[in-house]
Amino acid sequence: MATNPVSDAPRSALIRWLLAYGTFAVPQAAGPIAYALLAIPLTGDPGSGAAIVLAITVAQVVGAVPIARLGRQRNAVAFLKLLVALRMLALAAVALLAAAGAPFTLILVAAALAGSVNGAAFGYLRSVLNYVVAASNLPRALGLAATIGEFTFVAAPVAASLLGTINPVFALLALGALGTLPVVLVPGISHARAAAPADGGGSLVRPAILLWLACTVANSAVVSSIEIGAVSLAMNYGFPPAMGFIFTVALCVASVAGGVWVSVRNRTPGRSAVLLYLALMGAGASLIAAQLSVAATIVGAVIVGCFLAPLSTYYSLMLDALAPPHRKAELFALARTANAVGIILTSTSLTLTSLLVTQTVATALILAATVTVAIAFFATGKTAP
């Protein structure tokens, strides 16, 4: 997306965008628990919920960039609202098929339809922020977004647990409806269109971009190993499935605190801080993978959560700076795809192997990302590659 003047944008536009950002994430935040509870009466196995998450995220990987490209010449806000509405229709189909006792394969197909537009929708939602705030205030705005987004990841699993124990189908419909609120919340911006390419192109496949996309994958793998594995973690420690939210709440409350810190600071961290954040996230992931006790697992989730917002904000700022002006929405969709790849890795591992293997793989990925970033930083001698 082109960089546009935002001096005339009222503060209410940012507030509305932030609320849209938070509600957009409701289906994803509630998904791991909502789908696990939905799957229990259908297959008898909460792990089948991970298969639904996998279908959504695989479809997101496939559809994110191509669908984002379709909207390049359209108004970003209007295209975003179309994609969000299509996602709701697909989620409603998942719920209704489950209520009708349809074959699980059909439910997976409907879930994939919802996922196919999710990445592109996020790409446009993130790109719209460039029209709402000045570049100097992006760290603060992204920190606020992380705070609100993580509040969503605190509230949505709890809501999914409470509503899902009453009626999993109703829970999915209600939480999906909340995820459609961006249709009315995102402010209209008539000039929110991508500029024509000045140089005829602008590749997204560059080492610096790939570095932060790889880090996004690692972050996502660690976080999703907690979120998707929450029900399995609860059962592993002898709790009922609905108690899985205690681990996601610990993760997300800590992430809210990290987002507040980013907002107050409103600065891009230096390379030493980024490396420290990555190393500490690796330590938290290692503690979770050790499966020492409920308390130790919660502490590990808190450590991971504390550095989630600072790192995700940093990645977003780096990608924003590296993106060709006319391909920002596509790159943000690609970042969402990278996030989905992390979810795919943990979903697949949890479906085919075990919780322990899944957590070990996630830990290995974040430690590998830490080493890779360290090599890149020390090779270039710069704060950002």
The whole-number average pLDDT for the span 100-125 is 92
Q: Give the separation between CA 69 and CA 71, rounded to whole angstroms.
A: 5
Residue that has been written with the tokens 């590998």 in this structure: 368
pLDDT recorded at residue 194: 60
- Give 139's pLDDT tier (boundaries 50, 70, 90): confident
Listing DSSP states for 288-310 in one string gives HHHT--HHHHHHHHHHHHHHHHH
Listing DSSP states for 220-238 in one string gives HHHHHHHHTTHHHHHHHTT
Please report, for residues 14, 23, 180, 250, the alpha-carbon distance to residue 75 in angstroms, rounded to integers and kept in the order given.
18, 21, 19, 39
Q: Over 90: is that where the pLDDT of 253 sits?
A: no
pLDDT recorded at residue 273: 93
- Give 7's pLDDT tier (boundaries 50, 70, 90): very low
pLDDT recorded at residue 201: 54
Report yes or no: 49 and 35 within 8 Å, Cβ to Cβ: yes
pLDDT (tens digit per residue) in 46-85: 667 878 888 888 898 899 889 988 888 788 899 999 999 9
Q: Over 80: is that where the pLDDT of 317 sits?
A: yes
pLDDT recorded at residue 198: 52
pLDDT (tens digit per residue) in 174-204: 999 999 999 999 888 877 666 555 554 567 7
The whole-number average pLDDT for the span 143-161 is 83
As a whole-number percent, the residues of the chain with pLDDT over 70 amount to 92
Q: Over 50: is that where the pLDDT of 14 sits?
A: yes
Q: Over 80: is that where the pLDDT of 94 sits?
A: yes
Q: Over 50: is that where the pLDDT of 384 sits?
A: no
The whole-number average pLDDT for the span 299-327 is 89
What 3-state DSSP class applies to 124? helix
Report yes or no: 182 and 84 within 8 Å, Cβ to Cβ: yes
Weakest mean pLDDT among 2-6, 62-66, 164-168? 2-6
Angle between helices 104-128 and 328-352 (to 10 degrees): 150
Mean pLDDT across the chain, nearest whole number? 86
Tokens of 155: 């509230």
Structural fold of domain 11-193+202-380: Growth Hormone; Chain: A; (1.20.1250)
The whole-number average pLDDT for the span 343-371 is 90
For residue 293, the Cα-to-chain-centroid distance in whole angstroms is: 27
Listing DSSP states for 332-347 in one string gives HHHHHHHHHHHHHHHH
Q: Over 70: is that where the pLDDT of 308 sits?
A: yes
Report DSSP state, residue 131: G
Weakest mean pLDDT among 46-55, 81-90, 211-220? 46-55
pLDDT (tens digit per residue) in 259-293: 889 888 888 888 899 999 999 999 999 999 988 88
Tokens of 91: 């989620």
pLDDT recorded at residue 36: 85
Q: How far apart are the first and last CA of the chain?
A: 22
Cα dihedral 351, 355, 358, 362, rounded to 10, equals: 140
Q: Give the separation between CA 366 and CA 214, rounded to whole angstroms.
A: 10
Tokens of 279: 């190393």
Report yes or no: 168 and 37 within 8 Å, Cβ to Cβ: yes
The whole-number average pLDDT for the span 212-216 is 95
- Exposed, middle or buried: residue 82 (CB in 10 Å: 0-12, 13-18, 19+)? middle
* pLDDT greater at residue 101 or residue 275: 275
Q: Over 60: is that where the pLDDT of 95 sits?
A: yes
- Give 383's pLDDT tier (boundaries 50, 70, 90): very low
pTM: 0.81
Tokens of 18: 């932030």
* pLDDT greater at residue 164 or residue 153: 164
Q: Give the separation between CA 109 and CA 107, rounded to whole angstroms.
A: 5
pLDDT recorded at residue 3: 44
What 3-state DSSP class applies to 163? helix
pLDDT recorded at residue 280: 96
